[in-house]
Amino acid sequence: MDIMVVGVGGQGTLLTSRIIGKTALDAGYDVKLSEVHGMAQRGGSVVTFVRFGDKVYEPIAEEGSVDVLISFERLEALRYAHYVKKDGVIIINDCRIDPMTVVTGAKSYPENIIEDLIKSHKVYSIDGLSVAKELGNSKVLNSVVLGFSAKHIGFTLEDWLTMVEKTVPPKTIEINKKAFLAGYNKYEVFMIWNKEIECMSREDVTLLQSERLVKLVDYVYNNVEFYRKKMDAVGVKPSDIKDIKDIVKLPFTTKDDLRDNYPFGLFAVPHSDIVRIHASSGTTGKATVVGYTRDDLEIWAECVARCFSMAGVDKNDIVQIAYGYGLFTGGLGAHGGAEKIGAMVVPMSTGNSKKLTTMMVDFGATAIACTPSYLLHISEVLAEENLLDKIKLKSAICGAEPWTEKMRKEIESKLNIKAYDIYGLSEVMGPGVACDCEYHQGLHVCEDHFYPEIVDSATLQPVAEGETGELVFTTLTKQGLPLIRYRTKDLTSISYDKCECGRTSVRISRFKGRSDDMLIIRGVNVFPSQVEAALIDVEEVTPHYMMIVDRVNNLDTLEIQVEIDPKFYTDEIKGIEKLTKKIGHVVQQALGLSAKITLVQPNTLKRSEGKAVHVTDKRKLY
């Protein structure tokens, strides 16, 4: 392995490289070090190489061969980036120290260094100085940066701490160990899977989307009779579509269109080109059938790989897939993305929670993909079996049903993990259309493949950025079942601002509900997610609930069955009445209408291993 450590005199560059070299030597590797000092004491560049392996002959690495470049200053990273190989990593301590040429005015300090490097390399930027100052000693900056970098180099935490203790001055051992651990634990190492696309400028994204939309419209017009008739009906020809702005000229597609053309009427390729079929459950009508070509499956895996990378999953992880397999897209979709990354995949599916938890412990699973409600159930099983302190789980990629930020925090608290929101729907592709990153400021859309619009559900006119409306997708690259302006019925908003993670891809906000699962009760619009958010604030109950809507004597009624947390369960009438009243007040505040609250015993309500069902509507409204 080739490590390059660069910085400015006084930043601890030499000490850092020596700790790396000694750690590798103690691990049994052949090690070569070299140091180049450029007026270090006056703020000049300091460059060191650490090379280790079974046998190393030269102390200096060649350009384009370095695995990890550790830079204590931004400009130094730019200066030596050409040494990093194609799949190498650049770790930058985000600080600026002006060289003499800038101080004297002979040259200007380059702008957007990190942004430019991200376009061609895997880059991680950390504020090591702030962390060191939090510890009370800015001089341990190098140990903070080394702690973060250690995750990319290898060796055990114990190996690193031992060598820090052996190498630094005796009086500074404890503060340097604290600094190393601060860098090691403070920052998650999340890779951007496809930087070229995910960090593309808005102008370049628009050009790519325009090019793909023009091809798509010509493709569906000539290969799908349904779209040809629909476009002819509104007087639109493929030649009328010049760029992405012209998408508003095209007609919408709905789930009813898919059902009306059941099973294969919207396919754009011969059956011989379709290599897989998925379908919806059909619980609300005739199933919607989706066909995939080989290219479709490859694109799907690519998109899921991007999403899993946002959740910190890489080739070193063991991932349990606990979505359902079969016609449901969740299981095989997540499976393909995890394999694309190179992770070890455990295809658990659903149906045997105790077996899942046993294997989670025995296999040392570090990530899980499942619905959030099922993961809460898994946390209960782990607690019942006294296994919570034995799991190695770090992250969960949850989707397939609406959930709230409060539910995320509950999952993270119960399992001591990080939970991420992945989004998709079978008609558009499946899971992997969008996902949130470590900053949780909206879900990044794979917009080079799925073009998003937000429209008013009633008028179908576009709404402004940041306003809530119905999400509409156009599949820019799908071959088997291409869709134009497909109405998802999901309510969200959109943001084009660049994310702190470095991605420039458009983000959609956490969903507010669905335009078609909205309940109108006594003239009030109600979403199940509102009830869930309200109940999570009540510590005496679990997140498991059931809404029962009925109509009695021409008046709507709402009953909410809520499961009491075992820790607070009591058969004392006063206690039950008090809790019932408390929940009733919380629900009324959240919904704007009253509901009958029925408390049920722990573990009474049915647990879901797929999409959670929270509503029973007994009204006959149509």
**Quick one: 222 exposed, middle or buried, by C-beta within 10 A (0-12, 13-18, 19+)?**
exposed
- Check residue 284 and give its pLDDT: 42
Number of domains within the chain = 2
| pLDDT tens for each residue of 442-475 | 999 999 999 999 999 999 999 999 999 999 999 9
Query: Rounded to 5 degrees, what angle do the CA atoms 91, 96, 102 make?
Result: 130
What pLDDT does 43 receive? 52
Question: Which of 160, 188, 216 delimits the end of a domain?
Answer: 188
Would you say residue 70 lies in a domain? yes
AA letter at 475: T
Percent of the chain with pLDDT over 90: 65
Cα(40)–Cα(54) distance, rounded to whole angstroms? 32
Query: Domain for residue 73, yes or no?
Result: yes
Q: Are strands 30-37 and 519-521 parallel, antiparallel or unpaired?
A: unpaired
The CATH number covering residue 68 comes to 3.40.920.10
**Residue 326, amino acid:** G
Mean pLDDT along residues 434-444: 94
- Of 162, 188, 214, at which residue does a domain stop? 188
Q: Which of 72-81, 371-380, 478-487, 535-544: highest mean pLDDT?
A: 478-487
pLDDT grade for 555, boundaries at 50, 70 and 90: confident
Whether the per-residue pLDDT at 424 is higher than 80: the answer is yes
Mapping DSSP onto H, E and C, the string for 40-52 reads HHHCCEEEEEEEE
Q: What mean pLDDT comes out for the span 414-429? A: 94
Q: What pLDDT shows up at residue 190?
A: 64
- Using the Cα atoms of residue 354, residue 345, residue 505 and residue 113 in order, give the sign of their dihedral: positive
Q: Let me know if residue 146 belongs to a domain.
A: yes
Question: What letter does residue 552 receive in the DSSP assignment?
Answer: E
* Type of residue found at 283: T
Query: Of 176-180, 248-252, 308-312, which has the strongest mean pLDDT?
Result: 248-252
Quickly state the pLDDT bin for 186 (edges 50, 70, 90): low
pLDDT digits (tens, 9 = 90+) for 304-336: 999 999 998 988 899 999 998 999 899 999 999
Q: Tell me whether residue 14 is in a domain.
A: yes
Listed residue (488, 492, 484) closest to 465, CA to CA: 492
- Is 445 part of any domain? no
* pLDDT tens, residue by residue, 338-347: 999 999 999 9
Mean pLDDT computed over every residue of the chain? 90
CA dihedral (136, 138, 141, 147) in degrees, to 10, reads: 0
**Which residue range(s) make up the domain with 583?**
521-617
Distance separating alpha carbons of residues 606 and 588, to the nearest angstrom: 25
| Interval 282-299: pLDDT, tens | 434 567 899 999 999 999
Last residue of a domain, one of 172, 188, 204: 188
3-state secondary structure of 236: coil
**pLDDT for res 554:** 66
Predicted confidence at residue 42, as pLDDT, reads 46
Note whether residue 603 is domain-resident.
yes
The contacts of residue 104 (CB under 8 Å, 6+ apart) are: none
Tell me if 253 is assigned to some domain: no
Q: DSSP state, 606? A: P
Check residues 540 and 151 and name the one with the higher pLDDT: 540
- Give the pLDDT confidence score for residue 613 in this predicted structure: 83
CATH number at residue 605: 3.30.300.30
Q: Do 26 and 102 contact (CB within 8 A), yes or no?
A: no
CA dihedral defined by 83, 88, 91, 97, rounded to 10 degrees?
20
| Residues in CB range of 103: below 8 A, 6 or more apart | none
Q: Is residue 572's pLDDT more than 80?
A: yes
